[in-house]
Structure 1
Amino acid sequence: MKVVIIGAGEVGFHIAKRLAAEAKEVVVVDSSPRALKRISEGVDVQTIEGSGSNPAVLEDAGIRDADIMLAVTDSDEINIVACTFAAALAPGMVTLARIRKDEYLHFQQGRALEMLGIDKAINPDVEVVRAIERLIEIPGAEEINDFAGGRVKFVGYRVAGGPVVGVSMINIRSVLGVPDVIIAAIVREDQLIIPSGTDVIQAGDLVYFVCFADNAQLVMQRMGCPMRQVRNVMIIGGGDIGLRLARSLEGRLHVKLVDSDPDRCQELAQELHKTLVLLGDGRDQDLLAEENIQDMDMAISLTGDEETNILTSLLCRRLGAGKAVTRINKFAYFNLVRAVGIEQIVSPRLAAVNSILQYMRKGKVLSAASIKGDEAEALEAVALAHSDIVGKAIRDLNLPRGALILSIQRGEEVLFPTGDSVIMPDDRILILSTRRNIPRVEKSLTVKLEYF
């Protein structure tokens, strides 16, 4: 597979690093020599200096031989033009563009993408809002992803103590009292563990489990997580994401939105009807106290400045807010902010990466999500009729160590499999795999050549 990436920023760098590690052919295009130098020094990919919106540069990047082009610069316009030229130069190639502005997506009743030669638009702002809504639904979790059309939850929960500490995987279901739950992975002291039946949960572990959506809160409670329903929310930062989130939440929750720009506050007040818009700085302790931050079930810091978001979240927690959700853009900051006590992180760039990953995978992959940075990946895929995984019991699939089948959706029925479960054609399966095993998992999802 050959992939051309337009944009060497955080998203482009992260995607290029992932794909190069999987031995895919990658070409990265950017007009910034500094950004390209960072990539060429850290990743084994080809780099081309120039604008991705220039058809001559796309030709130099070998666009005619590419399978996929990703346009992930910070400019919607450059991404759109790059995809339009790429579609003209290489008909049939898959084009993906990161696009934030709704007016582009809604133009001509949503036909803009087809008209411009774009196969898929990725809007990370929308994905961030969805991620926050999931955290509001299950506020004790650090990470939540939906699969099987929202019927299955893939949840990351930090175990501080409680009844599951010291419990082995073979006994976890009986302790939880929930039959349909699978412990998929454990992160312990920055090490990823794909557990076997003898592994034991320890205090401080970040435990990833899969269960029915209706059981997620129950599983959390049985693990020892106190469930505090979110009713009152304060959003700090009235940019595009803050506005989109407030618009989604108002009417369901009591929402306060804080922004430091008077003109922007006027715009927000006109756009929002049930949200209290406040002019001020989220780092102002007096403002937070005056607005009863201690009564907020969740404080969500969404400004465009990471340092501001980190300081605001720490201050809100110290003043008594129930939970703090923090927007972080730089991947390098993730472990740092968790080390200082900020656990619930949302990232537009990580959201973009997860949205893009499904298109990088061979086989009919429907969705993908990274866990623990990029050490592992959860893939939801359709079991193709003549692929290696169909017609065999799971115990006979010869999956590599570090790859687990977590759920099977067959029509309207969702199953949590055992070793005797057999995958049938057109089943939707959820697979967790470590990064190094992704190529083997991809191979198992594709149709064997002798059937062509």
Structure 2
Amino acid sequence: MNVIILGAGQVGSSVAEHLASEENDITMIDVDASRLAEVANRIEMRTLVGNAASPRLLEQAGARDCDLLVAVTQSDQTNLCASLIAKRLFNVPRSIVRVRAADYTAFQELLGEEAFAVDFAICPEQIVCEYIVRLVNHPGVLQLLDFANGAVQLAAVRAERGGKLVGHPIKALRYHLPNVEMRVAAIYRHGVPIIPEGDTVIHPGDELFFLASAGQIPALLRELRPAERRGSRVMIAGGGNIGMRLAKMLERDYRVKLIEYNKQRAQQLAVELTDTLVLAGDATDEHLLDREGIEEVDHFLAVTNDDENNIMGAALAKRLGAKKTLAIINRSAYVDLVQGETIDIAISPALVTIGALLKHVRRGDVAAVHRLRRGAAEAIEIVVHGNAQTSKVVGRRIDQIRWPPGVTVAAIVREETVADEEAASPARKQKRVVMAHHDTVIEEGDHVILFCTQRRRVREIEKLFAVGFGFF
């Protein structure tokens, strides 16, 4: 696939890295030659220096033969203009555009075919904020991801001493929670993936990924780690786009304090945030944190634009008594160094955002993609099409299908027709979650949720679910 990426920032370089590893031909455009060179040193691709919205430069980049345009520069105007030019002049079939300003996303007609001709619009800041809010609402979870429009959730949890199931095999879960339908998709022990079996014993420190119907995650958490209360006090370090959005989303349900270094920005935030206490100061100032009662804070969220400040602020908050700390870290190499040691959760915004992009890049009908383990693994929700003659999976039991190594079928979401008890009422559709077993049969229309510990196997998964003219 020929892909043009506009913007060599964190999002653009992350998209390029992931797409290049999957054998796509990539051309990247940016005004900053040094930034392009830095990305090109890591990734095999073609680069062009200049204005990403220039028709001449887009043509030079190969827009006439382009399959996908990914416009993720820092400028909304540049991204939207480039999408329009790519569609109108070069008939690019698909465009994904980064739009940060709420002014654009509030008026969807601006993004439609008659205006800027955007196929898919993403706002990384909003995606990251929604991700963080889910973690705040579920203390003890390292990742919490939705599938099938929220009908199924995938949670990553680190097992700790004191958890009821720690030291026992996975199959003991059915006796502890007989009414909870769940599936352990993968276990990572000392960073190494383990295919879970019923007799696999859970050790302290194991990182478990399990799927369950929405609402059942808290019961599973209690089996793997000591009980934790949700808490009510949140402190946010950084009043940029993410910090402001987070405060707005959390201030309805939590007592929120926000620390912003820039006094003028702090004054603006104090006017805009009605139920948040805004403080002008340095989030790495021990005396400020102590004065504002850091030992009573349930969640300290470091979301400034500076990785070092986020690491230092979160580490200091943890040392001073904050119960849970979370830091945004743009350099992915830092994430593994600090998570679980000085900081409870480290988040790479690029990895959180990449799933929203990948579901529009994957071949086949992919409903959701989530990167796990800092991008080493992937969870995919793929819709099944075809029949027994045209598909390699339809009408077959899971144990009859030749799955690529490292792939686990975790669950199936199936839409069923349910007759209403009242005869006058029409039948209605409802989703049913089926936890996958060896004898589960895959049907047309199923949403199959897969866990892949080896990202290079993704292409094999896509081919497996592809619909052919005939399969014998």
1:430 partner SS: strand
The alpha carbon displacement at 1:212 in A equals 1.7
Find the residue that maps to 1:256 and give its secondary structure: strand
> Structure 1 CA distance, aligned partners of 2:275 and 2:201?
47
Cα shift at 1:102: 0.9
The correspondence of residues 307-346 of structure 1 with structure 2, limited to 5 A, is: 307-338=308-339, 340-346=341-347
Distance 1:292 1:147, change over 3 A: same
Partner Cα separation in structure 2 for residue 236 and residue 41 of structure 1 = 33
Cα deviation for residue 177 of structure 1 reads 5.0
Q: Deviations over 1:365-394 (max 9, x none)?
A: 111110112211111121113443222111
Indicate the residue corresponding to 2:426 in structure 1.
none
* Change over 3 Å in CA distance of 1:64–1:450 after alignment to 2: farther
Instruction: Tell me if 1:101 matches 2:105.
Output: no
For residue 429 of structure 1, what is the aligned residue in structure 2?
448
The equivalent of 2:461 in structure 1 is 441
Provide the rounded CA distance (Å) in 2 between the counterparts of 1:178 and 1:325: 33
Contact in 2 for aligned 1:250/1:274 (Cα 8 Å): yes
**Judging changes above 3 Å, is the alpha-carbon distance between structure 1 residues 246 and 26 closer, same or farther for their aligned structure 2 residues?**
same
Partner SS for 1:360: coil
**What CA distance in whole angstroms lies between the structure 1 residues aligned with 2:83 and 2:173?**
49
By how many angstroms is 1:332 displaced? 2.2
Cα distance in 1 for residues equivalent to 2:7 and 2:69: 11
Q: 1:43/1:200 Cα in 2 relative to 1: closer, same or farther (>3 Å)?
A: farther
Structure 2 counterparts to residues 99-138 of structure 1, below 5 A: 99-106=99-106, 109-114=107-112, 115-138=115-138
Task: Verify the 8 A CA contact 2:7 2:73 in the aligned structure 1.
Answer: yes
Task: Supply the distance in 2 between the matched residues of 1:281 and 1:383 (Cα, whole angstroms).
Answer: 52
What is the SS of the residue equivalent to 1:363? coil
Q: Per the alignment, do residues 332 and 73 of structure 1 end up closer, same or farther by CA in structure 2, a change over 3 Å counting?
A: farther
Q: Quick one: distance in 2 between partners of 1:76 and 1:182?
A: 41
Other-structure match for 2:425:
none
Q: Which runs of 4+ in 1 moved over 6 A?
A: none
Partners of 2:206 and 2:212 in 1: CA distance: 18
Task: Find the aligned partners of 1:128 and 1:206 in 2 and give their Cα distance.
Answer: 22
Q: Provide the residue aligned with 1:379 in structure 2.
A: 380
**In 1, Cα distance between equivalents of 2:29 and 2:199:** 48
Alpha-carbon distance in 1 for matches of 2:469, 2:310: 51
Q: Match for 1:389 among 385, 390, 393?
A: 393
Equivalent in the alignment of 2:286: 285
Q: Given the alignment of the two structures, is residue 407 of structure 1 paired with residue 407 of structure 2, yes or no?
A: no
* Distance 1:174-1:80 versus aligned 2 partners, 3 A rule: same
After superposition, the C-alpha distances for 1:149-182 in whole angstroms (9 at most, x for unaligned) are: 2122211111232343343445454456564221
SS of the counterpart of 1:439? helix
Cα distance between partner residues in 2 of 1:30 and 1:237:
28
Relative to structure 1, the CA distance from residue 84 to residue 193 in structure 2 (aligned partners, 3 Å threshold; closer, same or farther) is farther
**What amino acid is the match of 2:111?**
L
Write the distance in 2 (CA, Å) between the matches of 1:200 and 1:33: 52
Aligned to 1:185: 186
Amino acid at match of 1:341: T
- Call closer, same or farther: CA 1:119–1:220 in 2, change over 3 Å: same
* CA distance in 1 between partners of 2:61 and 2:168 (Å): 53
SS in 2 for 1:116: coil
Alignment of 1:30-429 (within 5 A): 30-91=30-91, 93-106=93-106, 109-114=107-112, 115-161=115-161, 162-174=163-175, 177=178, 179-338=180-339, 340-386=341-387, 387-411=391-415, 412-429=431-448
Stretches of structure 1 that go unaligned for 5 or more consecutive residues are none
Q: 2:428 corresponds to which residue?
A: none
Counterpart residue identity of residue 388, structure 1: K
Q: Give distance in 2, aligned partners of 1:149 and 1:26.
A: 31
2:378 partner letter = E
How far 1:340 moved relative to its partner? 4.0
Report deviation, 1:364: 0.9
Structure having the larger proportion of residues in helix: 1
Q: Write out per-residue CA displacement over residues 409-443 of structure 1, whole angstroms, 9 at most, x where no aligned residue.
A: 11221111211111211112211112021001111
For 2:146 and 2:92, locate their aligned partners in 1 and report how far apart those are by CA, in whole Å: 30
| Structure 2 match to 1:4 | 4
Secondary structure at the aligned position of 2:141 is classed as: coil
Take 1:300 and 1:208, find their aligned partners in 2: how far apart are those partners?
24
Q: What is the rounded CA distance, in whole Å, between the counterparts of 1:173 and 1:59 in structure 2? A: 59
CA contact (8 A) 1:140 1:225 kept: no
**Whole-Å separation in 2 of the counterparts to 1:295 and 1:409:** 41
Change (3 A) 1:96 1:211: same
Q: What percent of counterpart residues are identical? A: 35
Shift in CA distance, 21/349, structure 1 to aligned 2, threshold 3 Å? closer
Shift of 1:289: 1.6
* Larger displacement relative to structure 2 (138-147 or 90-99): 90-99
Amino acid at match of 2:49: E
Query: 1:184 is paired with a residue of what secondary structure?
Result: strand
What is the rounded CA distance, in whole Å, between the counterparts of 2:286 and 2:364 in structure 1?
Answer: 52
Q: Are 2:318 and 2:343, in contact at CA under 8 Å, matched by a contact in 1?
A: no
Q: Contact 1:296–1:321 (CA<8 Å) still a contact in 2?
A: yes
